[in-house]
A and B are shown apart, each in its own frame.
Chain A
């Protein structure tokens, strides 16, 4: 009882420091809990990825029209037969059951609204300046975008964190309609849902409206980089299906042939199915299917694991540093409070307290902060649905921290010379 009273007294007399310590401990424990959750999720994603695609083969798909075919399609398709055929080919590819095809077309959206450098083409390579040009005295910015079909999210395991994902309706577009857009995580700091961007896409004036933000740790398999690339700095547009043949819709549909195929049926078979789908529409075009050795399933799965592992590793180091800092800060501040109470401990010793009682008061005070922080963190993690593993892990950390602080506390209090009240060293 008297120990509790003393701990409470020390807490009340150092309310500001105790509150700050509580914030620090709670915050770092919550971060640790979130790390575990994130790691679990990454692991889950990697496992699911391996389970679903470990046996699969990846192919990059690009249109392979020669110049004659290209210009005939764009300028000589008077009755729209080729356009209609291409639209049907795309639909068949998206619906194909023997493999999964997703459109993934990396192009720029040009806008005269001021954009942060990180969202501009070439930023990662140090060429963001080249993505800004002047037209009639106004700056225009080339913003990185991905135009994707529905299966893009499934193939790359990308989810929407906030807002809405693309609905079936969002893929259908008519002249004058606003195009919905999903933004990568980095956009969150600058833009909100329902924000609107005006600009040009394939030379067509378009208005984009933000409908959501993508999950952290989202990567897509890029054919140009031959690697997983984070979508955090990308705008993601739906692969638009446009009924009316216009210069814009012709160009856009052709671009929508670029993407990724995930297939178990082998290179020859997959290529054969694609050719058949094209020929069925009376077109004599070819698709390029790349199957370099690097894109073997094992390699892709390994890459995916490495990518998610790297993100988790960075976060782990950060959390570890914060945790160590939090414990050191707790010890330093607690020791200064214990030092302030040295005289009171000495008085208690004279009144019949044992060294053990006094040690329990000192350690109890530190434990009070530690366990209160732990309690808040657990409640927060429970509210966040972070899972039992996160909670068990932070209990292990708190347990370890308790042992460390207890040892430090014993050593410190032994050196405090609390029995010096009578006369000192005469």
Chain B
């Protein structure tokens, strides 16, 4: 069983839970850094990025540091909308608090106010040839990427889905449609990492064993 934490400070964390549980994940709602220790993955949901920045900015808050440490160790992290902003190294025109883990620059509210929020069919080749029904709610776009970031989907306004090693972001909300392909893609990232960890532990055991003999 895969344990997936969902950051539950604010936003649509319940919707991610309803997507993940039927896919066989054990879901934990995370509000404190100490809860991260036993998790296989973390989802950062949609919400307001300035609110999350404020809630994690207090002196002595362990959450930001805990997420940064686990992510640098390879913990798979998936951010939707606000989650993508929170993971970005750069936010256009803003110095608001963030994790700053992924080599992307984002623009907030890239589509304008709510009346331009939209449903749009996306081509996401990594998920197969069938277009993906995406919902953008005052969503961001990724203006540019560097490092080894892989662009998974883009629209006229910019990049809307990308991956860098163990980090996955989307500007849209797959937790609001019935289509679970993005969540399954993320779970596959999580399973692969679990297998890798198990394999390296096994290799370590063998090595230790051979030293004993």
B and A form one assembly: no
Residues of B within 8 A of A (CB): none
